[in-house]
């Protein structure tokens, strides 16, 4: 049996509709959108517009032209942070950040351009909005946070912190890498909602982007400049959306797949999917607990977590455990630090890391039981 439990890294199989949409585009519609006046280029442009509309609908955003496509969420977050920051700014980040946020912010601080604070975070990976307020200074420009931890699944109190930030004119940048396609998300007062296509949104690699509020779009400088197919006679970057932030040829084939992935999820119903995944996560957590001599990290309350489960087995090195699970049982998970040294420091698992399982749209009860049985066998041998 092969069991894939690494959805936090990527969704391994894409729905047939995703593959069909990509094949159809490359075979029948592939041309550079906005770069030609002939029908096929115009048609590619219309398809991109429709994909933008799907993304806007998915995140309940008002304007599809404020959807900007990038290659992944890392690129989107870098563009947003570096485009909004000014010398002397103060930035707040959560205690569970992935390096996609931590490294760009740390680099800005190291260059002496900004200062930053990390919100004190509990050992379960949870944040109290009151602790966000304690970090606010007179020059706080933005708060950047991952909506859920990719290490232990803890969910950040997005709505409360966005409200508190808005009241203080602090901008909010949200990394939805672990929640887009898992939890219902609405743009509302968020300034930048960054997403990646290849994880729970079921799209291919090389897709992602951000949705930006009108105010943030006005204030954000473009980090990439270049050809947009518009205002080509000008040396300066267009100021209108999305061209202000979309230079160079977009991964149109991938975006067609991403659009199909989002439509597929909408048809399944996010709330039903979440219910199913959390039932499986509950059983996974319970089964791991029963094995004994195992420490589980992250919230025990299912409402406060996603299907990403972190644990360590006493006496087992997590890299070796991962190796044995794969080689002997065909179970795929991920050990180590998960590109999140900050998150591991918060959980007290740095530098050893943890073993991580993450359930996703195709995980089954049988796979969970099989995995628990494998862990039990390994535990008995230890
Ligand atoms: C919370 C979080 N942020 C950012 C990323 C980076 O995603 P990508 O590699 O698609 O840019 C990941 C991927 O693991 C993640 O889990």
Provide the domain limits for residue 88: 16-268
d(CA 231, CA 234): 6
Which of 129, 199, 212, 144 has the alpha carbon at shortest distance from 174?
144
Nearest-atom number in ligand 1 for the CA of 73 is 11
Helical packing angle, 365-381 and 270-291, nearest 10°: 20
Q: What is the pLDDT of residues 314-327, one digit of tens each?
A: 999 999 999 999 99
Return d(Cα 222, Cα 191) in angstroms, integer: 15
Are residues 207 and 149 part of one domain?
yes
What single DSSP character describes residue 238? Answer: P
Report, as an integer, the average pLDDT of 224-232: 96
Residue 232 and residue 282 in one domain:
no
Ligand 1 centre from 93 Cα, in Å?
15
pLDDT at 57 over 90: yes
Ligand 1 centre and the CA of 166: distance in Å? Answer: 25
Residues 6+ apart with CB under 8 A from 34: 41, 45, 48, 228, 229, 230
339 lies in the same domain as 227: no
* CB contact at 8 A, 253 and 276: no
Closest CA to 237 of 225, 251, 253: 225
Ligand 1 neighbours (beta carbon < 6 A): 8-9, 72-74, 98, 100, 146, 150, 175, 177-178, 196, 208, 339
- Nearest ligand 1 atom to alpha carbon 76: 11
Q: CATH number of the domain that 129 lies in?
A: 3.40.640.10
Report pLDDT for 141.
98
Q: Answer yes or no: do 170 and 213 share one domain.
A: yes
Mutate to test the pocket of ligand 1, among 7, 8, 12, 73 (most ligand atoms within 8 A of CB): 73
Q: Between helices 252-268 and 270-291, what is the axis angle to 10°?
A: 80
Other beta carbons within 10 Å of 64:
18
90 contacts 115 by C-beta, under 8 angstroms: yes
CB-based burial of residue 353 (10 Å sphere; 0-12 exposed, 13-18 middle, 19+ buried)?
Answer: buried
Instruction: From the CA of 149, give the closest atom in ligand 1.
Output: 1
Residue 36 pLDDT = 87
The last residue of a domain, from among 252, 268, 284: 268
* Average pLDDT rounded to a whole number, residues 172-179: 98
Cα 100 to ligand 1 centroid, rounded to whole Å = 6
Give yes or no for residue 180 having a pLDDT over 90.
yes
Mean pLDDT throughout 200-210? Answer: 98
Q: Is the pLDDT of residue 382 over 90?
A: no
Check whether residue 246 and residue 365 sit in a common domain.
Answer: no
* Chosen domain end from 240, 268, 296: 268
C-alpha–C-alpha distance, residues 141 and 145, integer Å: 14
For residue 83 the two structure tokens come to 């485009």
CATH number of the domain within which 324 lies: 3.90.1150.10
Query: Final residue of a domain: which of 268, 288, 314?
Result: 268
* Whether pLDDT at 33 is above 90: yes
Report how far residue 191's alpha carbon sits from residue 141's, in angstroms, rounded to the nearest whole number: 12
Pairing of strands 90-93, 115-118: parallel
Atom number, ligand 1, closest to the C-alpha of residue 150: 16
What's the 322 CA to ligand 1 centre distance in angstroms?
21
Would you say residue 292 has pLDDT above 90?
Answer: no
Number of domains in the chain: 2
Quick one: pLDDT at residue 212? 98
Residues 132 and 263 in one domain: yes
Q: Helix axis angle, 252-268 relative to 39-58, nearest 10°?
A: 40
């Amino acid at each position: 049996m092969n069991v894939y439990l690494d959805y936090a890294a990527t969704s391994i199989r894409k729905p047939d509709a995703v593959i069909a949409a990509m094949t159809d585009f490359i075979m029948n519609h592939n041309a550079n959108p906005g770069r030609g006046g002939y029908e096929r280029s115009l048609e590619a442009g219309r398809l991109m517009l429709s994909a933008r509309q799907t993304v806007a609908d998915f995140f309940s955003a008002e304007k599809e032209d404020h959807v900007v496509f990038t290659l992944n969420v890392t690129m989107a977050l870098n563009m947003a942070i570096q485009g909004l920051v000014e010398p002397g700014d103060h930035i707040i980040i959560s205690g569970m950040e992935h390096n996609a946020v931590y490294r760009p912010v740390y680099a800005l601080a190291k260059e002496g351009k900004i200062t930053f604070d990390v919100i004190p975070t509990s050992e379960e990976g949870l944040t109290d909005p009151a602790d966000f307020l304690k970090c606010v200074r007179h020059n706080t420009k933005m708060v950047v946070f991952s909506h859920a931890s990719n290490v232990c699944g803890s969910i950040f109190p997005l709505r409360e912190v966005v409200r508190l930030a808005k009241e203080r004119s602090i901008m909010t940048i949200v990394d939805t890498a672990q929640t887009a396609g898992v939890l219902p998300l609405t743009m509302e007062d968020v300034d930048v909602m960054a997403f990646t296509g290849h994880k729970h949104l079921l799209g291919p690699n090389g897709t992602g982007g951000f949705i930006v509020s009108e105010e943030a779009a006005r204030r954000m400088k473009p980090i990439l400049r270049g050809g947009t197919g518009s205002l080509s006679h000008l040396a300066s970057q267009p100021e209108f959306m999305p061209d202000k932030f979309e230079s160079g040829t977009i991964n149109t084939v991938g975006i067609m797949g991403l659009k199909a992935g989002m439509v597929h999820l909408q048809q399944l119903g996010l709330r039903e999917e979440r219910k199913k995944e959390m039932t499986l996560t509950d059983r996974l957590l319970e089964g791991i607990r029963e094995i004994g001599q195992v420490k589980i990290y992250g919230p025990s309350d299912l409402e406060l977590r996603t299907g990403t489960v972190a644990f360590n087995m006493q006496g087992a090195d997590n890299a070796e455990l991962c190796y044995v699970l794969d080689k002997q049982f065909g179970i795929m998970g991920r050990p180590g630090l998960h590109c999140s040294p900050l998150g591991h420091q918060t959980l007290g698992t740095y530098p050893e890391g943890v073993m991580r399982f993450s359930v996703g749209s195709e995980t089954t009860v049988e796979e969970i039981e099989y995995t628990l049985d494998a862990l039990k066998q390994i535990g008995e041998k230890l």
